[in-house]
Structure 1
Amino acid sequence: MSVIKNPGTTAVGGLALGIAATVVLASPAVAQTAPAALATGTTVGPAGHTFSAAAQGDVVLNAGPVTVTCARSSTVPTNGKPNKVPAQPGNSSSVGPIVLDINPPSFESCTTNAPGLKAAITTNADHGTWQLALRDGAPARLIIPAQGFTLKTSGLLSCNVTAAPGGAANAEAAWSNGTPSSLGFTGANIPVEIEGGFFCPTSVNTATITAQYKVTDTTDPAGAITVSGTPKR
């Protein structure tokens, strides 16, 4: 009886699988089924490193008819509360995002789209912690604690804009690995409550943020904070 062997190679889920198909004369061929691709978790690294995030260009906040543009914004590690990647094994998860505590970001040199209308933004963590949730293959999320920041206008209008008025809220962003890595917000929604006089847009309950942040590894400035997949075993 003659036997013909026909080795071949196929790629499934990025893994090269060698498949040897054996055909026996006078017998039907038997196909082998390749295993399903392995699911992935998330690892943020390097473990234990601190980081800063600084806006590259303007940060633009829109709340109804009012547009506020801030020339500078950043969050940096401090001795009391560093922006820090968790130590191993807390920097890896097989099922969910890695959540990093961060210091409340600053927003400085803010102007508005209306002549004579001034704006200032104050951030705080009185009702919770600012956090960054990172997950491989999914949008990043900036977690803003309840009443995490207040935008006040003065001059032509005196209005107060409170972010996340009813509880912690998320603003979605795109994470890109690099040296340094980046975090980009493009019209990300933030729930708000606006209070003030007759001309304040009190019916508006959503603001948006557009900004691009550079994320720098402050433990090793030549390195980078990265988000990667972790194969399940």
Structure 2
Amino acid sequence: MPAYNAATYLPKTVQSVLDQTFKDFELLIIDDDSTDQTAEVGQQLAASDSRIRFVHLDDNQGVANARNVGVAHAEGQYVAFLDSDDLWLPDKLELQVAFMQQQQADFSYCSYDVVDDHGTKIGERKISEDRLDYHEMLKGNRIGLLTVMLTRPIAEEYPFPKINHEDYACWLSIARGGTIAYLASDRILAQYRKHQTSLSSNKLQAAQWTWTIYRQHEHLNIFKSLYYFLHYSLMGITDRR
């Protein structure tokens, strides 16, 4: 769980992890050299439950680096991701771990609600595809980071790149390597908090980042980039977020 100036939301987010019906987990809070009370809050939370570990970074290097540090410290069989202002519903881990074990999957995801700063639902991302390969992923990022679970070897092999849309770029790298992502449950299992001031709320900026990933990260030629960008644009039109 990367955290930067996250003191306001961190306790509730951590509580959503502690409330999981699946109890055999470790929670890593990675403080990316915050300037607010995140360190104090994180240390208090870690002191309250032995499953929580707090790591403070002396140099702010961004969310991708913080996630990679978390993966490097992880000891479990699976790695799941949650940002410091989002929430998991109580049976998220239980259902997803069971799916991963039963299907021997390396990569899974699920649907999620979108909520505002006050926790009021303002939309949802209901994913209908029960599996996504590299070709399908290039059509747009359907996978919410807060819903992803990877086996630890896959998470270690494919670190988050230090670019915009680092999660999407990471999923593409994993899929390009031949790993299929599977829908772990048809239920909504998480809540993504959409801030009015969030950069990811800017559709134009997101489109520019996606184009950059096609051209510079995936090294697609102009024709393939245009083909997939058309699919991305059509998906954006029907996006209910």
TM-score band, normalised by shorter chain: under 0.3
Larger-gyration structure (1/2): 1
Larger relative helix fraction: 2
What TM-score, normalized to structure 1? 0.25
What TM-score, normalized to structure 2? 0.25
Larger relative strand fraction: 1
